[in-house]
Amino acid sequence: MSRIGYSVGVLVLAGLTLAGGASVPPQSDSEKAIVKQMSGLRKMPDSDRAVATKSLALAIRRLPTGELKADLANGLANLATEGDFGRDTLQEVTTTLALALAETPRPSQNGQLYPGYDELAQLAKYEHMKVALSSPDLTTAVKNLNELDEARKRVDFTLADIEGHGWTLSALKGKVVLVNFWATWCPPCRKEMPDLQTLYDRFKSQGFVILSISDETAAKVNPFIADHKYTWPILLDPGRKVNEMYRIQGIPKSFLYNRKGQLIEQTIDMRTQAQFLTLLAKAGLR
């Protein structure tokens, strides 16, 4: 998942560089090798990436206890939800993160939980992974996530698309709506967009609407959309008003509404076409 940003020192996955000063840089050959392999995951075919991700989870697990171990585990967890690399692989990644935080609990900074606890809460709730960790911070993360989900159910918004047409979420009852947060700079966002076009072409006659929301300017978004010839509504949120309503911290992220206007599913990260089809079936699109 491409992160908007954190105030604590964790891996910044766009370049896998350490930020914020909370963790020491990789020192051992094993640590350096893991960082190098993680930086190349997005370049791999998905089948190879699944094998490499599982191998990295086990390699991180063998590292000495410390803050960097937790940071690497959290960074891998972010990358491991960018598609479908197998349930077993994702469980190994989840277990590695839980074990790293059990070994080295990470304190809150400036009132914010260490992101790994939020990641575990999302893996448990949205990906249905088993999380074996007894931690007050994880309990807080789960509580916060449940409260956030309840708040998201009440969200309504109006935004204009890149052609100047206004869209109001509550006015789309009777349609199946996928609200999708993305940006031109986000690799997993770009990766899922061709599949979104395929799904839009397949289901739009059945009342399927995609509202993709970017917090970038029209000058950034318009050329990208024109170059790729995407045809579903692309909405602009340069002031991040709607991003803040949903409290978006990582993209891509999608929210699925049924024909009654009810929020019924959400994704933790990018989805493959097969994963989107499973999601849309829950709203009656097959």
Cis peptide before 238 (omega within 30 of 0): no
pLDDT at 8 (0 to 100): 34
pLDDT above 60 for 7: no
Least confident of 24-33, 134-143, 155-164, 249-258: 24-33
Please, which residues have CB within 8 angstroms of residue 185's CB and are 6 or more apart in sequence?
Answer: 2
pLDDT above 60 for 9: no
Rounded to whole angstroms, how far apart are CA atoms 266 and 279?
9
158-281 belongs to CATH 3.30.300.30: no
Place of tokens 């991180």: 60
pLDDT at 10 (0 to 100): 40
Asked if 83 and 46 touch (Cβ cutoff 8 Å), the reply is yes
Residue-wise pLDDT for 36-94, tens only, equals 999 999 999 999 999 999 999 999 999 999 999 999 999 999 999 999 999 999 999 99
Rounded to whole angstroms, how far apart are CA atoms 193 and 270?
9
Share of the chain above pLDDT 90, in %: 89
Residue-wise pLDDT for 209-245, tens only, equals 999 999 999 999 999 999 999 999 999 999 999 999 9
pLDDT above 80 for 6: no
Residue-wise pLDDT for 18-45, tens only, equals 433 345 678 899 999 999 999 999 999 9
Least confident of 20-29, 165-174, 186-195, 265-274: 20-29
Asked if 104 and 131 touch (Cβ cutoff 8 Å), the reply is no
pLDDT at 159 (0 to 100): 98
CATH 3.40.30.10 residue ranges for the chain: 158-281
Rounded to whole angstroms, how far apart are CA atoms 257 and 250?
20
pLDDT above 90 for 108: yes
pLDDT at 150 (0 to 100): 97
Cα dist. 165→160, 170, 232 in Å? 5, 16, 12
pLDDT at 18 (0 to 100): 41
DSSP string, 122-173: HHHHHS--------HHHHHHHHHHHHHHHHHTT---EEEBTTS-EEEGGGGT
Q: How confident is the model at residue 2 (pLDDT cuts 50, 70, 90)?
A: low
Q: How confident is the model at residue 3 (pLDDT cuts 50, 70, 90)?
A: low
Is 0.85 topped by the overall pTM?
yes
Chain-centre distance of CA 2, in angstroms? 7
Count of other CB atoms within 10 angstroms of residue 145 = 17
pLDDT at 22 (0 to 100): 42
Residues 131, 252, 119: CA angle, nearest 5 degrees: 20
